[in-house]
Amino acid sequence: MIKTDVVIIGAGPTGLFCAHQLGIIGLKCEIVDNLDKIGGQCIELYPDKPIYDIPAVPKCTGEELTNNLIEQIKPFNFNFHLSDRVQELKNENNKWLVKTLNGKEFETFNIVIAGGVGSFEPRKFPTKSAEKYDGKSVLYSIKDKNIFKDKSVVIFGGGDSALDWAIELSNSSKVTLVHRRDEFRGAPASVQKIKELSDNKTIDLITKYSIKDDGFW
C-alpha cells in the first residue's frame, strides 16, 4: 500500500501541471498513467506537431511541451506509475483507496482526475481494406512528420487535428484534405488558413466525401 497526499490519474499536460502546483504547496503526489510514457495526447498523438496556443510560448512541439512540464516537476521527485490503469476508487473513513489494473494500491486524502479523453484509442477507418495498411501507410497519429517530406498525403477529418496537420504538412508535402461535411469543427483561424491554402492551390480540399473500400464516395 502506497500512502500519499494526492493520487493524480493521468500524466498528460493537465496532470503534470497539477503536480507542479501541488508540489509548490508541499503535497506529495503519485501519478498513474495507462500509457507507457509521460505526456498524454501531446506525446502519444502529436510529439512533432507545433503548438501555438501556450501562454508566453510562441511555438513548441508536443514533445517539447512534455519535456518542459517534466523538467518543471523534477525538483519534487514524484513517482510515476506508467502502463497501469486506475480501475477502482473507494472512499473509506474519509480516505480514498485507489486500485490499479496491475494490482497497485494507494491510500490518499485527495485524487485529481486528469484523464483527458480517457485511455484513448484512435477511431479507425470503417473500411476492411484499410486494415492491412494499418501502421504502414494508414496512420492514426504522427510521431515523426519528416516521413511525409515530398510525399503525397491524404488527411481525413475536419477537427483541429486534421486542420493543424494539413497546415503543417503543406509546408513540405502535397496535401489533400478530405472531410465528410463542408463545415469544419476546428478553430476559426485554422479554418480560415485552410480556405486560403485551398484558394491558392497549396492544398487540395475535398468536402462532402468520405472513404469506402474502393475509393471516396
Beta strand pairing call for 105-113 and 95-100: antiparallel
Q: Are 26 and 19 in contact (CB under 8 A)?
A: no
DSSP symbols for 47-109: TTSEE--BTTBS-EEHHHHHHHHHHHHGGG--EEE-S--EEEEEEETTEEEEEETTS-EEEEE
Nearer to ligand FAD by Cβ, of 121 and 214: the residue is 121
Residue 147 main-chain phi, psi, to 5 deg: -65, -15
Identify the helix (H) or strand (E) that includes residue 160.
helix 160-169
Half-sphere exposure of 142 (CA within 13 A, CB side): 21
Nearest distance from residue 198's CB to ligand FAD, in Å?
20
Nearest distance from residue 113's CB to ligand FAD, in Å?
8
- Which segment (89-97, 156-164, 188-196, 208-216) binds ligand FAD by CB under 6 A? 156-164
Q: Are 204 and 176 in contact (CB under 8 A)?
A: yes
- Residues 70-89 interacting with ligand FAD (rule: CB under 6 A): 85-86
Size of the site for ligand FAD (CB under 6 A): 30
Nearer to ligand FAD by Cβ, of 30 and 164: the residue is 164
For residue 143, state whether it binds ligand FAD (rule: CB under 6 A).
no
For residue 13, state whether it binds ligand FAD (rule: CB under 6 A).
yes
- Which segment (26-34, 68-76, 150-158, 195-203) binds ligand FAD by CB under 6 A? 26-34
Nearest distance from residue 184's CB to ligand FAD, in Å?
14
Identify the helix (H) or strand (E) that includes residue 30.
strand 29-32
Q: Which of 14, 61, 68, 210 binds ligand FAD (CB under 6 A)?
A: 14
Nearest distance from residue 41's CB to ligand FAD, in Å?
4
- Residues 157-176 interacting with ligand FAD (rule: CB under 6 A): 160-161, 164
Cα 175 off chain centre by: 22
> What cell numbers appear for 214 in the block?
474502393
For residue 4, state whether it binds ligand FAD (rule: CB under 6 A).
no
Judged by the rule CB under 6 A, the positions of this chain that interact with ligand FAD are 9-15, 32-35, 40-42, 45-46, 49, 51, 53, 85-86, 114-119, 160-161, 164
